[in-house]
A and B are shown apart, each in its own frame.
Chain A
Amino acid sequence: MDQQRRNDWILFGSFWAVFSVVGFYLVLGIDLLPAQWAHEAEVVDDAYILLMGLSIPIFAGVAAALLTSLIRFRVKVEGQPTEDGPPVHNNRNFVRLWIASTLMLALMITVNPGFIGIAELRGEPSADIVVEVQAQRWSWKVNYENGAETFNQLYLPADRRVRFDITSLDLVHSFWIPGFRVKIDAVPGRVTHLYVTPEGVGSFEDDFNLRVQCAEICGLGHAQMAMPVTVLEPADFDAWVSDLAEGA
């Protein structure tokens, strides 16, 4: 390899290293994700950060190659180009290596955070309490186990595994709690399920992402189709729910 070509690769390597470091700092050093209010949020965020970590060097590599090309291989052309680049049509070994590595990478992320993440996120199909949710243009009705009912308000106990049974009376809506990082559509004629274990006590006043937001366009009131979520201590929740049931 002559000096010229070695310098190309050195420049590329330096850009790659710098871009990767800057990328890691920006993405992992700065808190880009909002507060986690559920066990599921941790699973999702871990997957997000893992994918980010894998993406950065790939992204940095291509960006470095582009910048290196721009600096090192640019030619000044007067009128029409007078010289060609080297007649490299292929490099079989490099292509094989590239395909093998992209395939490996794709398989890797399919396994983790793919399949492993799915298993973690779903967990066992068992729950401590069941909450029924009914969506209707443009509001939510919530039924708890003992007959208690709320309208456009969702109360949940911390540290208990909740199963939501969700349906819709009219259109497709989507039940999304950004602070929990999970969503599932509310489909007329079907009941869909979502498992969540809230962590930490808080309410919409503490974090606007503690809300149920409709995420599937449903007409006029779509943006406003949201309800605040309040996570209570389990004991407080039990008291709240039995008060409400008695009042009903």
Chain B
Amino acid sequence: MRQLLRAVIFGILGYLIGAALTWLIRGGSMGDEVCVVFGYILGLIGWLFGIGMGDTWVREWFGLPARKYEVTGWKRYLGFSTDHKVIGVQYLATFIVVLLLGGVAAMIIRFELAQAGEGILNADRYNQVMSMHGILMVAVAVAAILGSFGNYLVPIMIGADDMAFPRLNAVTFWLIPPVAIGLLAAPTLGSFDAGWTAYPPLSVVNNGGQILFVLAVTTFGLSSILGGLNVITTIVTMRAPGMTWGRLPIFVWGAFSASLISLLTTQFFAASLILIAMDRVAGTVFFNGGAGGDPLLYQHLFWFYSHPAVYVMVLPGFGAVLETITHMSRKPLFAYKAVVVSFLSIAGLSVIVWAHHMFTSGMAEYLHGPFMFASEMISVPTGMVFLSAVATLWRGKLWMKTPLFFAMIWIFQFLMGGVTGIFLADVVTDVSLHDSYFVVAHFHYTIMGGMLFAFLTGIFFWFPKITGRMINDRLGIIFALWLTIAFQLTFLPQFWLGTNGMNRRIADYPEQLEGANLMSSISAFILGSSFILFVYILLSGAIRGPKAGGNPWNASTLEWQVSSPPPEHNFSGQPTVVGHPYGYGTAGSRHAEFADVTVAAAPPEQPGTDQGGDHE
């Protein structure tokens, strides 16, 4: 708590010093964008110093011992903790809140669009709410699974006691609050209205809130890069003895391939945003077509990251869903090696498809063919993931609890997204559908369907591990069906709207399109309200759900062989991995042995395989 308070004070002081110094040097007003930029940079440094970098790194640079705070209980979650499980929960809670905020923005958008004409929002406000919804949800999609389950589970699954760089991990998380504050403070400078894509020249000439968008999202990119670096290093160097690459649980592979993309491509997004900041405050003309710059340059840089980012969102999702399917259907993951190759191929292909977002941008026409070809090729490794999911279910012993329900619905949702993606990868149909509501429907199926449903799968699958308690399964299934049906009724009409002449990012539309919009809006409210049930399920489960024990699903991977929640440093003795993670159906198959006691991978006859019993 003291750290947090100190961080807030240092952050504010940093901001004031930065802004005031800039103002003293150049004159003008303290609210000018230049002052905001330097204020933000010093504020960010002050915040990081105050939250814990000052106590650790900075003291050590001067030969002093790092200062430690003994905090226990819930207060750990409000401070600079280096425990990967605390950080995982910090991510989880933060991004559920951001998800709900973005959801409120979505409800406002659908309220406005329920009828043609101007409703509760004027066009300006609409663009601002839409842009806020976009960037909040993109942030959730990029960081929610990788940040929460990546941190919480990857070290346990590979038999390590923490991440490779625990302090860096803490910094990675504590970079997120300035992002949220920056975005939510944008209305004080007139908000931003250029969508989450922030195409110039609009993003160079619009209100001052755009500069906060640029600063916040660049900070978020820094967090992604550091997080990716940490996950990769952890997986490469911290695997338990015997944990060969061929024995890694599939979720670890998902996190690994997504982190590769984060580490190697996020810089391009940051660079493009910094160029926008320069165009805004330093008088450069990178994107000014009239002065020798080129607006298309931004689009190339932006999509060079932002298309791969889609796979940062869904690859950990693939991992979470396949993990759930193999454990809950009690069958080995079908074609494990082919799936791993597919994950890595997706990561590789993801960086050569970006210009399929630009078929109508006016870029050179000879580029259309190659980018269309590369984009269509992504359907091959993705198809392999579908085969693995469905073939693992086939003839399994399906235990239809909430997580498996969500995993199976995920297959359906992401397939919808994948199939409609073909229409957008194909130049001929894209020329018609680009920037229409068809695109809106498509990416809600891929990102909401593909990432959010995987996130929910993961939440319900690992909830007992993280909280030590079970949720009300009947309510979980009601939530799954409620959400899924409302989802179809919300987004199916939007495909029709797109082919019938409704473009995206508009506050108003021709009145002939009113019927489908009204249907979409009403369904969206039903969809939105399902999240009240979601929050209730989580809270009631966490507070008074029945005790889960160490291994409620009787699953084989390492995280289930320790107590729920796992003890500090995860394992009492060093686990040694001796076999495949998914040895279901093979008598005597074992994944790991512990120093003191041997644990069978998944002996169906012995329910009580947990090591430490129930922990409060």
Contacts and interface: CB of A to CB of B under 8 A. Distances in A.
B384 interface: yes
Contact of B294 (A83, A84, A189, A223): A189
B387 interface: yes
B44 interface: no
Nearest to A108: B376
Nearest to A41: B432
Contacts of A110: 372-373, 376
Interface in A49-87: 51, 55, 58-59, 62-63, 65-66, 69-70, 73-75, 77, 79-87
B508 interface: yes
Contact of A189 (B289, B329, B333, B503): B289
Interface in A89-142: 89-91, 94-95, 98-99, 102-103, 105-107, 109-110, 113-115, 117-118, 120-122
Interface size class of B (residues with CB under 8 A): 35 or more
B332 interface: yes
Most buried by A among B193, B361, B369, B416: B361
Nearest to B197: A217
B530 interface: no
B476 interface: no
A244 interface: no
Contact of A109 (B330, B426, B499): B426
A107 B218 CA distance: 38
Interface string B504-516: 1111111010000
B201 interface: yes
Contacts of B368: 118
A90 B436 CA distance: 41
A62 B395 contact: no
Contact of A95 (B338, B422, B506, B554): B338
A218 to B, nearest CB: 6
Interface string A180-201: 0111110111101000000000
Contacts of B391: 88, 91, 94
Given A43-B428, A102-B379, A213-B503, A69 B508 contact: no
B431 A82 contact: no
B225 interface: no
B586 A217 contact: no
B336 A89 contact: yes
Binding site secondary structure of chain A: mixed
B436 A215 contact: yes
B124 interface: yes
Contacts of B330: 81, 83-85
Contacts of A80: 552, 554, 604, 607
A201 B501 CA distance: 19
Given A110-B372, A183-B432, A192 B397 contact: no
A55 B422 contact: yes
B107 to A, nearest CB: 20
Contact of A174 (B335, B435, B500, B510): B435
Contact of B295 (A33, A84, A187): A187
A114 B398 contact: no
B616 interface: no
Contacts of B534: none
Given A73-B397, A174-B360, A44 B432 contact: yes
Contacts of A43: 428
Contacts of A87: 331-332, 583-586
Contacts of B365: 122
Interface string B362-375: 10010011001100
A209 interface: yes
Interface size class of A (residues with CB under 8 A): 35 or more
Nearest to B342: A99
Given A217-B194, A223-B507, A88 B427 contact: no
A106 B376 contact: yes
A223 B123 contact: yes
B362 A190 contact: yes
Most buried by B among A63, A80, A208: A80
Given A62-B386, A89-B336, A84 B201 contact: no
A104 B45 CA distance: 53
Contacts of B584: 84-85, 87
B411 A113 contact: no
Contact of A103 (B293, B380, B607): B380
B613 interface: no
A115 B426 CA distance: 9
Nearest to A69: B393
B360 A189 contact: no
B383 A98 contact: yes
B199 A172 contact: yes
A179 B426 CA distance: 19
B605 interface: yes
Given A44-B432, A103-B380, A66 B335 contact: no
B475 to A, nearest CB: 18
B290 interface: yes
B422 A109 contact: yes
A162 B289 CA distance: 26
Given A62-B386, A70-B408, A75 B512 contact: no
Interface in B430-446: 431-432, 434-436
A81 B200 CA distance: 56
B399 to A, nearest CB: 5
Interface in B392-437: 393-400, 408, 411-412, 415-416, 419, 422-423, 426-429, 431-432, 434-436
Given A55-B422, A172-B202, A217-B194, A33 B380 contact: no
Given A51-B422, A114-B428, A217 B505 contact: yes
22 contacts: A47-B426, A55-B422, A69-B408, A80-B554, A82-B604, A88-B391, A89-B336, A98-B384, A102-B379, A115-B369, A118-B372, A118-B427, A172-B201, A174-B360, A176-B435, A182-B431, A183-B432, A211-B501, A215-B504, A217-B195, A218-B202, A223-B506
> Which 4 A/B pairs are nearest by Cβ-Cβ distance?
A189-B289, A87-B585, A178-B501, A117-B428
Given A74-B398, A192-B362, 19 more contacts: A34-B501, A43-B428, A51-B422, A66-B393, A77-B399, A80-B554, A99-B380, A105-B379, A110-B376, A174-B435, A187-B289, A208-B510, A209-B501, A213-B501, A216-B435, A219-B193, A219-B202, A222-B123, A223-B507
Interface of A: 5, 8, 32-34, 43-44, 47-48, 51, 55, 58-59, 62-63, 65-66, 69-70, 73-75, 77, 79-91, 94-95, 98-99, 102-103, 105-107, 109-110, 113-115, 117-118, 120-122, 170-172, 174, 176, 178-179, 181-185, 187-190, 192, 208-209, 211, 213-224
